[in-house]
Amino acid sequence: MTNNTHEIIGVQQTTCCIVGGGPAGVVLGLLLARQGISVTLLELHQDFDRDFRGDTIHPSVMEIMAQIGLADRLLELPHSKARTLKLNSTNGDIALTDFSRLKTAYPYITILPQAKFLDFIATEAQQYPNFNLIMGANVQEIIEEDGVVRGVRYRGHGGWHEVRALLTVGADGRFSRMRQLAGFEPIKTSPPMDVMWFRLPRKSEDTSGLSGRVSNGKMIVLLDRSDFWQVAYMISKGAFAQLRTAGIDFLRKSLVELVPEFSDRSHLLEDWSNIAFLSVESSRLPKWYLPGLLFIGDAAHVMSPVAGVGINYAIQDAVVATNVLSEPLKRGSWHLWDLAEVQRQREFPTRVIQWFQELAQKRIIARALNQNQQFTIPAFLQLPVLRDIPPRLIAFGISPVRLNS
């Protein structure tokens, strides 16, 4: 929390100030605006463009989109659909998760650039006169008065601005500035892997969909993006520096060992600037709120990339926050227990999926990355009675989240 020492060139009053225009913030902005609540959404960047930030829309999100009448229009945007995640290893192929068996109108993962999704939702929200999106707003201070958060200060067009709000929501992602300003420290766990992301062209004769390959201590996940492959190359935690020393040519060779079809295009990985490195972490805040301030999405809990659930859970947080907080915000006053209720409803599902990710990291990924051990697919994953649990958990969490109105 900080005292103002700047010249403020503009002050705005709103009911809910949301910091961060990622999936959590943009969806929350739309859902509150639909309820007639005055919302100001502050986003650091000038646009939503981002590479390798997760481009997956899960069935639960599609159902929420259907609830607000946007699913059909969303599916008109260019996208691909992944119905299964197949894992190819030396002991055969297995459908690790099969979404096509789920009882939903959307039994697949929709793969759609996140920037397009955010643009779509923000454009929809901008139809409401009570929704105000400010791009290029770098929030740097929290306004606190009498122990209550009353809004934020940001550096934006022309200098410093203030947004005063009944409620402020920190949806500013895994490196949350808001969390730091509030003095909140997440509880972290350290997953056993890191990920390198890159893209390679996809040819018409290639396979399609979502698949994984494991061999000789290496593991890769391939996402079919129509004209290119989005590749997640998993490595043991801390191995990136060693790999860089070994050189890009070594990486190309390892890649071709794992995916021989890429022998005709691995040369397109010219240097390390083609590779985006993600240090994998998983964390959650012990407390998601303070008087006048609530955290949602990655700011409240960073998910491991296992099963790509970060967007899904961020949007589910936004839906629950809307369900719980719409009436207090319309009324013009909140109680601390309203904010606590959002955490109460979302913390348990978050802990369950993080536990599931930890299990997958230990039982599948750490084994796959162990060069001294022949990788075998864990037997429990092949039991018919258990095989529907992972897709259901990934697609919906422990129970589907729905919008109350």
Ligand X SMILES: Cc1cc2nc3c(=O)[nH]c(=O)nc-3n(C[C@H](O)[C@H](O)[C@H](O)COP(=O)(O)OP(=O)(O)OC[C@H]3O[C@@H](n4cnc5c(N)ncnc54)[C@H](O)[C@@H]3O)c2cc1C
We find the least distance from the C-beta atom of residue 263 to ligand X, in angstroms, to be 26
Q: Looking at the DSSP assignment, which residues form a beta bridge with residue 195?
A: 234, 278
Nearest Cα to Cα of residue 219 among 257, 275, 245, 252: 257
Taking the complex as a whole, how short is the minimal distance between the CB of residue 78 and ligand X, in angstroms? 17
**Position among 156, 173, 292, 390 found at the interface with ligand X (CB under 6 A):** 173
Contact call for residues 328 and 338 (beta carbons, < 8 A): yes
Q: Is residue 171 part of the contact set for ligand X (CB under 6 A)?
A: yes
Footprint on residues 226-285 left by ligand X (CB under 6 A): 278
Question: At closest approach, how far in Å is the CB of 42 from ligand X?
Answer: 5
Which CB atom, from 43 or from 224, has the smaller least distance to ligand X?
A: 43
Beta carbons within 8 Å of 345's beta carbon, 6+ residues apart: 320, 324
Does 151 sit near ligand X (CB under 6 A)? no
The window from 48-56, 203-211, 363-371, 372-380 that contacts ligand X (CB under 6 A) reads: 48-56
Contact flag: residue 63 with ligand X (CB under 6 A): no
Q: How far apart are CA 49 and CA 115, in angstroms?
A: 5
Which of 4/376 has CB closer to ligand X? 4
89-97, 297-305, 320-328, 390-398 -> range binding ligand X (CB under 6 A):
297-305
156 scored as a contact of ligand X (CB under 6 A)? no
Pick from 110, 312, 323, 350: which binds ligand X (CB under 6 A)?
Answer: 312
Contact with ligand X (CB under 6 A): which of 19, 33, 85, 122? 19
Tokens encoding 281: 């972490």
Bridge partners, 197 (sequence order): 232, 276
How far apart are alpha carbons 72 and 74 in whole angstroms? Answer: 5
Distance CA 290, CA 147 (A): 9
Member of 40, 43, 165, 234 binding ligand X (CB under 6 A): 43
The two beta strands, 131-135 and 39-43, are parallel
Kindly state the smallest distance separating residue 298's Cβ from ligand X, in Å.
Answer: 4
Q: Which two tokens stand for residue 162?
A: 């203030």
Pick from 14, 16, 23, 282 the residue near ligand X by CB under 6 A: 23
Nearer to ligand X, 335 or 351 (CB): 351
Q: How, if at all, do strands 138-145 and 148-156 pair?
A: antiparallel
Greatest alpha-carbon pair distance for the chain in Å reads 66
As given in the structure block, the two tokens for residue 351 are 């802990």
Kindly identify the residues of this chain, within the stretch 333-362, that bind ligand X according to CB under 6 A: none
- Picking from 102, 176, 99, the residue whose alpha carbon sits closest to that of residue 139 is 176
Residue number, 22 or 292, with CB nearest to ligand X: 22
- Which of 54, 59, 151, 170 is the binder for ligand X (CB under 6 A)? 54
Please work out the total of residues on this chain that contact ligand X, with binding judged by CB under 6 A.
36
Residue 305 in contact with ligand X, rule: CB under 6 A: yes
Of the residues 8, 9, 10, 45, which one makes contact with ligand X according to CB under 6 A = 45
Nearer to ligand X, 8 or 386 (CB): 8
Q: Segment 106-145, which members bind ligand X (CB under 6 A)?
A: 137-139
Smallest distance from ligand X to CB 350, Å: 11
**Token couple for 186:** 């997440």
Piece of 38-46, 59-67, 201-209, 211-219 that binds ligand X (CB under 6 A): 38-46
- DSSP secondary structure of 94-162: EEEEEGGGSSSS--SEEE--HHHHHHHHHHHHTTSTTEEEEES-EEEEEEEETTEEEEEEEEETTEEEE
Out of 79, 177, 199, 218, the residue judged to bind ligand X by CB under 6 A: 177
Helix (H, G, I), strand (E, B) or coil at 390: helix
* Cα distance between residue 44 and residue 109, in whole Å: 28
Should residue 52 be labelled a site residue for ligand X when binding is judged by CB under 6 A?
yes
Return the range that interacts with ligand X (CB under 6 A); candidates 32-40, 248-256, 294-302, 393-401.
294-302
CB atoms near residue 253 (< 10 Å): 14
* Closest to ligand X by CB, 54 or 186: 54
Q: Judge contact between 253 and 247, C-beta under 8 A.
A: no
Rounded Cα gap, residues 46 and 136, in angstroms: 5
- Site residues for ligand X per CB under 6 A: 19-25, 42-45, 52-54, 56, 137-139, 171-174, 177, 197, 278, 297-299, 303, 305, 308-312, 314
